[in-house]
A and B are shown apart, each in its own frame.
Chain A
Amino acid sequence: MAPKTTEKATEKVLMKGNEALAEAALRAGCEAYFGYPITPQNELAAYMSKRMPKEGGAYLQAESEVAAINMVYGAAASGVRTMTSTSSPGMSLKSEGISYLAGADLPAVIVNVQRGGPGLGGIQPSQSDYWQATRAAGHGDFHPIVLAPSTVQEMADTIHIAFDLADRYRTPVIVLVDGMLGQMMEPVALPEPGGATVVEKPWAANGHQDKRPHNTITSLFLVADDLEASNRARFARYEDIKRNEQRVEEYRTEDAEIVLVAFGASARTSRTAVDLAREAGIKAGLLRPITLVPFPVDAIEARIPQAKAFLSVEMNMGQMVEDVRLVVNGRTPVEFFGRVGGIIPAPTEILAAIERIAGDDACAKGGDA
């Protein structure tokens, strides 16, 4: 499902994550972008402001994040591929609108280039919005699909997948990255222009011209039975999403006894730490969720019999670790290591956490003997 690349397009160029994501969004058929400035995602909006008019699409810097997400609602209702982007504090402001998108079953893509929090926090990279993205993207009984790329290339590839999933399941999709991925440059092979998936949207409010009945887009259901039915229909789709859309990358997990779980930026340094641990004779591996919703429960479940422990490595005080514990359900220890405030966990300190767990395990075995 990753977008095709032409021979010419596969020539790799150096781009910032924010810019690569913006260009890939245009190539995925994004026709309307609405945003409001905030560091560290500004390059994304700036890139859109330059390119979108040339593509004949709509670019608007709104007066606030609240306005921007409601413009997304309007554009999505008309059936076009639309997106917004922001960083953590802005995400809180968008949360009401995201809930309305979910309630009206509208497809849209929201990019959160996370920074440290709470409050205004800092502008350095963070993963402190995991709970917000997966649990509390807005009020009401819903959750979006959440995708978490970990390289600039994957940011470019993911945005196409995000639009496809949004359209297929009629749901908002959050792309959760961080300041490091947004600001860094890496080689990227951009997807082929014009490769956008075309999805029929017979529900769109795009002018009936007296040829069909009115389409109504709303999240307001004042009759209890109607509201319950709409919730149940949405959660039936969530079951399909859980079944079909779990994405994960595994690295050296085949025989891993200590299974690291990490996404995005912290997955990169965790991967390096896995190599260091292997050099030290410890059987470590990395399980990297690419979808945070749906959480890759099947992949984690499959590693439980062989795992002496799981180690969740995050740039927060311990959020995803709770999802790992939900899957593991007490069958094996689930540990946590994290750094906050804009600090990326260093491979050496992750290695120290792995060695501590491996040592504890060796002691436990020694005690049994």
Chain B
Amino acid sequence: MTTNFQLAGFGGQGVLFAAKVLTYAGLLEGLEVSWMPSYGPEMRGGTANCSVVLSEAPVGSPIVTEPDVLLAMNQPSFDKFYHAVVPGGICIFDSTFVTDVAEHDGVAERAEVRLVPVPASTLALDNDLKGGANVIMTGVIVRQSGVVSLETAEKAIEKSMSARHLHLLDDNLKALRLGYDYE
């Protein structure tokens, strides 16, 4: 069993961190894992994306081209990766920024992809978690994909944070649970 994740957004939205938490959670659950950022010139243009593979077998290519789970934190990421999601896959997106979905070319034909809109950036502001939309979405991914447990993800958050940011741990745990419990 292998689950391929693609996490994408603007630089600064924290998709690399969200991906790291997910990867650490896989490691803590004893899975084979890989984390692979895009490091191409497009990063300078403002978008960042990261592939995560969680698998029971050794990871071949860490580069995900057909994700089982897509996180799109902005409209360009949704537009770029939505069509790559495998049939039966999940597309989680930040509905604060991704607004052009219903009219989007081809969405109607892709009924086999489950859309999960979450207004993560608005939720972050409303809950005094500025900049925490990425971790809220990590909670959503954990819940929707079911590959790792919430408890493991909580441990993974602490592992993924640098020492100088650890004072934000409680905020991150709050954000993670907020996303996990979002209906």
Interface residues in B, total, Cβ within 8 A = 22
Give chain B residues whose Cβ lies under 8 Å from the Cβ of A39: 39
From A180, A185, A187, B63 is in contact (CB under 8 Å) with: A180
* Cα A363 to Cα B131 with chains together (Å): 62
> Which of chain B's residues has its CB closest to A40's CB?
B39
* Cα A14 to Cα B33 with chains together (Å): 9
* Cα A346 to Cα B40 with chains together (Å): 19
Min distance, Cβ A174 to any Cβ of chain B, angstroms? 23
Interface residues of A in 1-37 (CB under 8 A from B): 12, 14
Interface centre among B23, B24, B33, B35 (most CB of A within 10 A): B35
Min distance, Cβ B167 to any Cβ of chain A, angstroms? 22
A246 within 8 A of B: no
Mark contacts of A82-119 with chain B using CB atoms, 8 A cut-off: 1 yes-contact digit, 0 otherwise.
00000000000000000000000000000000000000
Do the beta carbons of B33 and A186 come within 8 Å of each other? yes
From B20, B41, B62, B65, A14 is in contact (CB under 8 Å) with: B20
From A124, A184, A272, B60 is in contact (CB under 8 Å) with: A272
Do the beta carbons of A185 and B60 come within 8 Å of each other? no
> Which of chain A's residues has its CB closest to B27's CB?
A187
* Cα A39 to Cα B37 with chains together (Å): 13
Do the beta carbons of B61 and A271 come within 8 Å of each other? no
Min distance, Cβ A284 to any Cβ of chain B, angstroms? 14
Interface centre among B36, B57, B65 (most CB of A within 10 A): B36
Interface residues of B in 136-162 (CB under 8 A from A): 159-160
> Which of chain B's residues has its CB closest to A345's CB?
B61
* Cα A271 to Cα B55 with chains together (Å): 15
B58 within 8 A of A: yes
* Cα A12 to Cα B33 with chains together (Å): 12
> Which of chain A's residues has its CB closest to B36's CB?
A184
* Cα A344 to Cα B63 with chains together (Å): 8
Do the beta carbons of A268 and B39 come within 8 Å of each other? no
Do the beta carbons of A269 and B61 come within 8 Å of each other? yes
* Cα A208 to Cα B35 with chains together (Å): 50
Give chain A residues whose Cβ lies under 8 Å from the Cβ of B62: 180, 184, 186
From A12, A40, A180, A185, B20 is in contact (CB under 8 Å) with: A185
* Cα A17 to Cα B59 with chains together (Å): 15
Please judge, given known A-B contacts A187-B27, A271-B58, whether A14 and B35 are in contact too, CB under 8 Å.
Answer: yes
Do the beta carbons of B40 and A123 come within 8 Å of each other? yes
Give chain A residues whose Cβ lies under 8 Å from the Cβ of B6: none
Do the beta carbons of B27 and A12 come within 8 Å of each other? yes
From B39, B57, B59, A183 is in contact (CB under 8 Å) with: B39
Give chain A residues whose Cβ lies under 8 Å from the Cβ of B37: 183
> Which of chain A's residues has its CB closest to B38's CB?
A183
* Cα A124 to Cα B37 with chains together (Å): 11
Do the beta carbons of A347 and B58 come within 8 Å of each other? no
* Cα A124 to Cα B61 with chains together (Å): 14
Do the beta carbons of A268 and B60 come within 8 Å of each other? yes
Do the beta carbons of B40 and A185 come within 8 Å of each other? no
Min distance, Cβ A303 to any Cβ of chain B, angstroms? 22
B34 within 8 A of A: yes
Give chain B residues whose Cβ lies under 8 Å from the Cβ of A184: 34-36, 62
A289 within 8 A of B: no
Do the beta carbons of A347 and B60 come within 8 Å of each other? yes
* Cα A243 to Cα B39 with chains together (Å): 40
Mark contacts of A348-361 with chain B using CB atoms, 8 A cut-off: 1 yes-contact digit, 0 otherwise.
00000000000000
Do the beta carbons of B61 and A347 come within 8 Å of each other? yes
Interface centre among B20, B61, B159 (most CB of A within 10 A): B61
Min distance, Cβ B67 to any Cβ of chain A, angstroms? 15
A285 within 8 A of B: no
Given A265-B61, A268-B60, 9 more contacts at CB 8 Å? A14-B24, A180-B63, A183-B39, A186-B59, A268-B58, A271-B58, A272-B60, A273-B60, A275-B57
Where the two chains meet, the residues of B that have a C-beta atom closer than 8 Å to any C-beta of A are 20, 23-24, 27, 33-37, 39-41, 57-63, 65, 159-160
Shortest beta-carbon contacts, A-B, top 7 = A272-B60, A185-B35, A184-B36, A269-B60, A184-B62, A268-B60, A269-B61
Where the two chains meet, the residues of A that have a C-beta atom closer than 8 Å to any C-beta of B are 12, 14, 39-40, 123-124, 179-180, 183-187, 265, 268-269, 271-273, 275, 344, 346-347
Cross-chain pairs A/B with CB under 8 angstroms, 18 sampled: A14-B23, A14-B27, A14-B33, A14-B35, A14-B159, A123-B40, A180-B62, A183-B39, A184-B35, A184-B36, A184-B62, A185-B20, A185-B35, A186-B62, A271-B58, A273-B60, A275-B57, A346-B65
